[in-house]
Structure 1
Amino acid sequence: MTQLKKSTLEFLKKLEENNNREWFTEHKPWYQEEHEQAYNFADALLNALKGHDEISTLNGKKSLMRVYRDVRFSKDKSPYNPRWAGSFSRVKPHLRGGYYFHIKPGATVIGGGFYGPAPEDLKLLRNQIAQDDQPLRDILNDPSFQKVFGGLQGDQVKTAPKGFDKEHPAIDLLRYKSMYVFRNFSDKEVLSPNFLDEAIATFLALRPFFDVMTEYLTTDLNGLSIVD
């Protein structure tokens, strides 16, 4: 079974404390060793997930986000992201949503959803929710779903999106520009032998959410399919 090592989190802690090119260059072999660990974990996670869902991401290495930061337009000039993070995309257009993992000392999360959807998708989502928000509310209010993820997260507009009444009964959902959920893990849980199994179980708990959102995104307001 793939298990993350204590050194994986230790490297990330040291990188956060020494977020500069000199330290990174000096410890490049350590980075390469821990990056390989992250890749192996991502690959195991993806292979297990493919037994339950249709995923377009080719392999674990393709899923991983770069540790190097693009600082051109950022006030924070720290050159590195002290975390291992990656995402797996479901096969479009019939399946929607994406899985995400973020491993960082004291801040590990597993989850997913719809981050920054295309404008046409966001418009369709809002129209569908405005017409019938109950299927989505049933999932978000389900006690087992809430036990795993808590509440819905994502950027929101302050009042109401263009074209929608701020007094609409579903305005709390219509404000969202992105919609996703996460489960938090302690460092002890991350380093436990069953973390991979718990990560998979967390991903599987997303499926009811994905199913409702996929229905919204692949049908018109009359319930007819809009995908080939």
Structure 2
Amino acid sequence: MFTGFPETAPDFYAQLELDNTKEFWASHQDTYRREVREPMEALLADLAEEFGPGKVFRPHRDVRFSADKSPYKTHQGGYVQVAPATGWYAEVSAEGFRLGGGCYQMDPGTLTAYRKAVHEDRTGRELIRVVDALRDAGWEVTGDRLKTAPRGYPRDHPRIELLRHRTIAAMRWFNELDVVSSPALVDRVRADWDQVRPLVDWLRALHR
């Protein structure tokens, strides 16, 4: 059962940002397990009945193709997947607690289906309504985007902003520490993930 993230969890990541070494990690593994990983696992478990089983991302970075060889991620992500690369997300870091949902990666087939759905009036207008409602509720709609129109679509397309997306998600920071460090966070994440559900459902439909 989730009891809250300790108020020292962001401090752990603030220290890791300053000393991202195997030596630091080796001497603070118990802190990471107790104050970060186990609370995230408990949070996802308490939400599993409604949203599905979650996973906690590994702390190690894949540095094979990166100029930055820092061995550890400076945040802990938790994820509930409902379709390929699509679902709900939660994260704790030195900056606080963040959550949201959407699609973080589209393979060529999914990207083609996404653009076709945005272009089609019924599904495209539905996504506009979903995105506008999320923005009105204070969400940041973000993602990797092209600088111009994708090939085959006019620059003056009525939904060109959405067509330029190669990934899309709604994210927000939640930094009420008294809630983040208490069991009440479960209900707040549940309510926020419910707000994002129309976006997740729209994206999940691309795989049907």
Fold in common (TM above 0.5): yes
Q: Residue type of the partner of 2:167?
A: S
Supply the RMSD in Å over aligned alpha carbons: 2.3
Identify if the C-alpha distance between structure 1 residues 192 and 120 changes in structure 2 by more than 3 Å, giving closer, same or farther: same
Is the 1:153–1:181 Cα contact (8 Å) retained in structure 2? Answer: yes
The answer to whether structure 1 residue 68 and structure 2 residue 56 are counterparts is: no
Identify if the C-alpha distance between structure 1 residues 19 and 109 changes in structure 2 by more than 3 Å, giving closer, same or farther: same
* Alignment equivalent of 1:177, drawn from 142, 166, 187: 166
Q: Distance in 2 between matches of 1:118 and 1:7?
A: 38
Q: Residue type of the partner of 2:187?
A: D
Bigger drift between 161-170 and 147-156 goes to: 147-156
Is the 1:84–1:103 Cα contact (8 Å) retained in structure 2? Answer: yes
Q: Residue type of the partner of 1:73?
A: F
Is the 1:156–1:176 Cα contact (8 Å) retained in structure 2? Answer: yes
* Alignment equivalent of 2:131, drawn from 140, 143, 162: 140
Is the 1:99–1:203 Cα contact (8 Å) retained in structure 2? Answer: yes
Gaps in structure 1 of 5+ consecutive residues = 219-226
Q: How far does the alpha carbon of each residue in 1:22-45 deviate from its partner, in whole angstroms, 9 at most, with x for none?
A: 22222333333334xx33433333
Q: Residue type of the partner of 1:130?
A: H
More strand by share: 2
Q: Distance in 1 between matches of 2:61 and 2:86?
A: 25
> Structure 1 residue 171: deviation in Å?
0.9
Q: How far does the alpha carbon of each residue in 1:56-108 deviate from its partner, in whole angstroms, 9 at most, with x for none?
A: x4xx5xx1111111222212121111221121111x49xx9311111112242
SS at match of 1:141: helix
The answer to whether structure 1 residue 127 and structure 2 residue 116 are counterparts is: yes
TM-score by length of 2: 0.86
Once the two structures are aligned, what percentage of the paired residues are identical? 29
> Structure 1 residue 47: deviation in Å?
3.5
Gaps in structure 2 of 5+ consecutive residues = none
The answer to whether structure 1 residue 86 and structure 2 residue 85 are counterparts is: no
> Structure 1 residue 153: deviation in Å?
0.6
Q: How far does the alpha carbon of each residue in 1:106-151 deviate from its partner, in whole angstroms, 9 at most, with x for none?
A: 2421001011122111111111111122111111112xx3254434
Q: Residue type of the partner of 2:27?
A: E
* Alignment equivalent of 2:194, drawn from 190, 201, 204: 204
The answer to whether structure 1 residue 168 and structure 2 residue 160 are counterparts is: no
Is the 2:5–2:39 Cα contact (8 Å) retained in structure 1? Answer: no
Is the 1:148–1:183 Cα contact (8 Å) retained in structure 2? Answer: no
SS at match of 2:66: coil
TM-score by length of 1: 0.79
